[in-house]
Amino acid sequence: MTATTNTTDADFQADVLDSATPVLVDFWAQWCGPCHQIAPVLEQIAAERAGSLKVVKINSDENPVTGAGYRVLGLPTLLVFDKGELVLELRGARPKAALDRELNKVLS
């Protein structure tokens, strides 16, 4: 079982913006090498922070509207939302320690 979930343009409002829990959204695509590199790290973060952070993936090719709305121009792009507000934008793959540091700054 995976710790991350998937969302779509249609479900983004309910899954992310209306979430009572902070949400990290991973904008990715099948062809994106760095997206596949960061996926296991995001699974780890989702498992470690279960209950305090949701990790949601959205395929940018299949769901172009949401990415365009947030000006996602490169992949992977990670956006963190808290109470529907965008609180953190990270572009490109990063090691887990760097992601944890950035998340701790906005979620503590």
Which residues are known catalytic residues? 32, 35
* Both tokens assigned to 58: 């959205």
